[in-house]
């Protein structure tokens, strides 16, 4: 059960990171620092999102 909660939290963090990256991409002032921040948020969001999905897929839903 705890792994499922951690998986859901990772998915939510990944979605939040992708939203922040999209927001900074649309409204960012530009320049080198803005691009680095966008890439950082995007990569972390993707990593968290897919690791959360993988954790939910591998976790057994039966109570032990």
Q: Would you state the pLDDT for residue 2?
A: 87
Comparing 53 with 35, the larger pLDDT belongs to 53
Does any domain span residue 36? yes
For residue 63, tell me if it sits in a domain.
no
Q: In angstroms, how far is CA 24 from the centroid of its own chain?
A: 15
Would you list the DSSP string of 1-64?
Answer: -HHHHHHHHHHHHHHHHHHHHHHHHHH---SHHHHHHHHHHHHHHHHHHHHHHHHHHHS--S--
Q: Is residue 20 part of a domain?
A: yes
Q: Is 64 within the bounds of a domain?
A: no
The per-residue pLDDT for 10 is 95
Q: What is the pLDDT of residue 15?
A: 97
For residue 31, being part of any structural domain is answered with yes
pLDDT of 60 strictly over 90: no
State the pLDDT at residue 62. Answer: 67
Q: Identify which of 21-25, 30-34, 40-44 has the greatest average pLDDT.
A: 40-44
Number of structural domains found in the chain = 1
pLDDT tops 90 at residue 30: no
Domain extent at residue 26: 2-58
């Amino acid at each position: 059960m705890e792994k499922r909660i951690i998986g859901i939290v990772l998915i939510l963090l990944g979605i939040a990171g992708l939203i922040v990256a999209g927001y900074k991409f649309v409204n960012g002032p530009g320049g080198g620092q803005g691009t680095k921040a966008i890439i950082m948020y995007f990569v972390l969001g993707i990593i968290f999102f897919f690791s959360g999905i993988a954790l939910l897929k591998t976790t057994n839903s039966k109570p032990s």
